[in-house]
Amino acid sequence: MRLGDYELIERLGDGNHGIFHIAKPPARLGLADPMVTLKVLDHFGSADDFKRITNELRLLHSLQSPHLVELLDAGSVDGRMYLATRFYPGGPLSDIRDTLDRATLVAVVADAARGAHAMHEVGVAHRDINPQNVFIDRTRGRLADLGLAQTLAGATATVGTGPIGSLQFIDPELAWGGQASRATDVWSIGITLHCALSDQLPFGEIPTSSLMAALRHVVHTPPSLDHRFEPELLNVVSRCLAPIGERFSTALEVAEQLDDVSRQLAQAMPADRRTEQTDHMEDHPDV
């Protein structure tokens, strides 16, 4: 099966706004990588839609942050838009969180927070940070779907395009029509961290009868945190979910706090499990 000059090898699964595939890249990209991840968007767009989205993605691509997935290509075939990124065989955090120790999980979310900060610094809110959009590159985290919810805002409803379960990760203010910002992404980072470390959903079981029922549940149900967390972790999550004026002011502040927590957790590990985590945490390139 093909999409334009991409050969689709395997369907990876559904995400907000589209379907992920492993694909063989065209020769025109000049890549050494045998495979890429191709996201085929649900939205059928006009030429103006495509121009608007690619202009936004070009800005994000220029960031070259080690904490963001690397965008390789964007195009449109018969009105169906697609994005190609590096293929990260580690998979998304949502699929492998049970295989990682707590120190590494915290470090991976810290990396995603750095990716969000890089986006915020050029004026773009992510709007869809969740474990499915954090990919594992060896022991490093990379934030995916860069600004996609933002760029598609004029074409599709941000909340309505994804599964109802994705409401777990959206600041209720944004879900109710508020403005996307650094602060709303900080909320999502906090929920992502909570869900990466706990099997306890902060909003409990969300009604699936309708989108409006799900929205009402999230807006009117205060998140319930897992108090089995280490005090330092509980403090970070709580500050992410505090009223906007009391939250961390930037995602970078969240990342720096998580670095400290990850180091503490790594030091508590048996010595033979510390090396890989220490190597990962020694140096974070500036965003």
pLDDT digits (tens, 9 = 90+) for 201-230: 888 888 877 778 888 888 888 889 999 999
Name the pTM for this structure. 0.85
Q: What pLDDT score was predicted for residue 273?
A: 58
The mean-pLDDT minimum among 53-62, 104-113, 189-198, 277-286 falls in 277-286
Domains and CATH numbers, the chain: 2-86 (3.30.200.20), 93-281 (1.10.510.10)
pLDDT in tens, 95-133: 888 999 999 999 999 999 999 999 999 888 888 899 989
Instruction: Please tell me the number of Cα atoms within 13 Å of 48 on its side-chain side.
Output: 2
Whether pLDDT at 283 is above 60 = no
pLDDT in tens, 220-272: 888 899 999 999 999 999 999 999 899 999 999 999 999 999 999 999 887 65
Burial (CB count within 10 angstroms: exposed 0-12, middle 13-18, buried 19+), residue 129: buried
Distance between CA atoms of 118 and 71, rounded to whole angstroms? 15
Please give the DSSP secondary-structure letter assigned to residue 68: B
Instruction: Please tell me the number of Cα atoms within 13 Å of 210 on its side-chain side.
Output: 3
Higher-scoring residue by pLDDT: 149, 4 = 4
DSSP-H helix ranges across the chain: 47-61, 93-96, 102-120, 148-151, 172-175, 182-197, 211-220, 231-240, 251-267, 274-281
Distance between CA atoms of 26 and 4, rounded to whole angstroms? 9
